[in-house]
Structure 1
């Protein structure tokens, strides 16, 4: 009788949802052009670093970025939303973690363009990456980090 009780109890425990195990990553939603493969590479890079990324192909990427406060000259090839921030372009994960830990009063950050060697991009890094802070008040972006 004890064995049966043990087995039934063990089975019941295995069927219970465990929030800590079910929700371990930082949730992110990444909007990208349907034809862009480097954005999929960036999403994979984020997943390898503990993020839960939902990828949403769109033909309105420039409009999504603009509405999120990313000036045209500072846009990357995809726009992501994480914990109330916009993150545009191939921003290294350590800078994303810094943003989420510091929680500055900004709209988000961006690495404009598609720099060679940035996360998700092919090639070798040939220059410093300049990541800009996007303000909430329409002021010009300022340097947030260099990598």
Structure 2
């Protein structure tokens, strides 16, 4: 059985603020995003706040572990690309703690790819807190190959 909980930007801002916000910030940021995550993962919730703060309208579906793993596979990610949550936006999949700026770039450039991945859970990635861990954002292609899309810190 799958447990589902949905959180939206409207629930945080309220109806009046969302109308103004959506005509300015959301238009620039891109399309609505669905994020699949575990209901008990605090860093997933922190990453969702990161992309919401960047202007994305996010719906979160909390899934059991087996269902979450199946979503990752359906999206086109192999275990080496995996992290704790998977997002879908604009025909792309977003795996893990990808910075919102790279999602915006992906949607602007529209490369032929499955999407972006930050494998594992690097300490400095959005939603993780802080540390001193450099990491790469990978562009994952349909054949499973990757290339570095961005490196952090810049």
* Partner of residue 76 from structure 1, selected from 66, 72, 83: 83
Asked if residue 129 in structure 1 is aligned to residue 135 in structure 2, the reply is yes
**CA contact under 8 A between 2:43 and 2:127: conserved in structure 1?**
yes
Tell me if 1:141 matches 2:143.
Answer: no
Q: 1:9-28 CA deviation, whole Å, 9 max, x = no partner? A: xxxxxxxx99x739746310
Q: What is the DSSP-based 3-state SS (H/G/I as helix, E as strand, rest coil) of the residue aligned with 1:51?
A: coil
Q: What TM-score results when the alignment is normalised by the length of structure 2?
A: 0.76
Q: Does 1:29 align with 2:37?
A: no
SS at match of 1:35: coil
Q: Unmatched 5+ residue regions in structure 1? A: 1-16
Aligned residue number for residue 124 of structure 2: 117
The 3-state SS of whatever aligns with 1:87 is strand
Distance 1:62 1:90 in 2: 16
Which stretches in structure 2 are left out of the alignment for 5+ residues?
1-18
Paired with 1:139 and 1:30, the residues of 2 have a C-alpha distance of: 21
Query: Tell me, what secondary structure is at the counterpart of 1:95?
Result: helix
Equivalent residue number for residue 9 of structure 1? none
User: In 1, distance between residues paired with 2:23 and 2:109?
Assistant: 25
Structure with higher Rg: it is 1
**Residues 68-125 of structure 1: CA distance to partner in whole angstroms, max 9, x if unpaired?**
111101111100001000000000111111101100011101000111121111232x
TM-score, normalised to structure 1's length? 0.79
How far apart in 1 are the matches of 2:90 and 2:37? Answer: 18
| Distance of 2:47 and 2:77 partners within structure 1 | 19
